[in-house]
């Protein structure tokens, strides 16, 4: 690896040390369905978002709830204290496309219809409300 590339990678790693996030890779639901659940909680306070996800009837919300709990635990681990109500919020959440499995379904007259089984990656960042207010 070249020196410039190594320096760039080290800067990126240092920037991630100050951010609190969790990633969920290769979720076997379509990105569109996952984005519907992600849009429900974007920008919310984390404990309010946990309540919204727990009582949502979407299948994707169960996976997002588990991911949000993981992000809160990551924040608690890095700060060495428990998260309090009203302190954390979801600063960024995005859903990206992942690998697509392509299958064939039998169709009439000896043909086959293509079935695309989509999957996605979800990344969720949490941040403290006080830290964000001081920047403004």
Task: Assess whether pLDDT exceeds 70 at residue 85.
Answer: yes
Measured CA to CA, the distance from residue 98 to residue 60 in angstroms comes to: 15
Domain assignment of residue 1, yes or no: no
Ranges of beta strands (E only) in 3-136 are 20-27, 88-97, 101-106, 112-117, 120-128
Domain assignment of residue 7, yes or no: no
> What pLDDT is attached to residue 136?
47
pLDDT band of residue 73 (cuts 50, 70, 90) is very high
The model carries a pTM of: 0.85
Domain assignment of residue 93, yes or no: yes
What domain count does the chain have? 1
Domain assignment of residue 45, yes or no: yes
Domain assignment of residue 125, yes or no: yes
Domain carrying residue 87: 21-130
Measured CA to CA, the distance from residue 66 to residue 118 in angstroms comes to: 21
How far out from the chain centre does Cα 129 lie?
Answer: 19
Q: What percent of the chain has pLDDT over 90?
A: 82
> What pLDDT is attached to residue 131?
62
Domain assignment of residue 26, yes or no: yes
């Amino acid at each position: 690896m070249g020196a410039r590339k190594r320096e760039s990678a080290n800067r990126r790693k240092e920037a991630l040390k100050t951010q609190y996030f969790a990633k969920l890779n290769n979720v076997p639901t379509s990105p569109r369905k996952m984005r519907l659940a992600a849009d429900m909680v974007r920008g919310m306070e984390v404990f309010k978002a946990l309540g919204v996800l727990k009582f949502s009837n979407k299948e994707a919300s169960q996976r997002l709830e588990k991911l949000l709990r993981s992000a809160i635990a990551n924040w608690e681990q890095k700060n060495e204290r428990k998260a309090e109500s009203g302190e954390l919020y979801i600063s960024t959440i995005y859903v990206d496309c992942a690998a697509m499995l392509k299958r064939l379904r039998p169709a009439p007259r000896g043909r086959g219809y293509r079935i695309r089984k989509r999957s996605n990656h979800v990344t969720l960042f949490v941040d403290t409300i006080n830290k964000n207010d001081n920047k403004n």
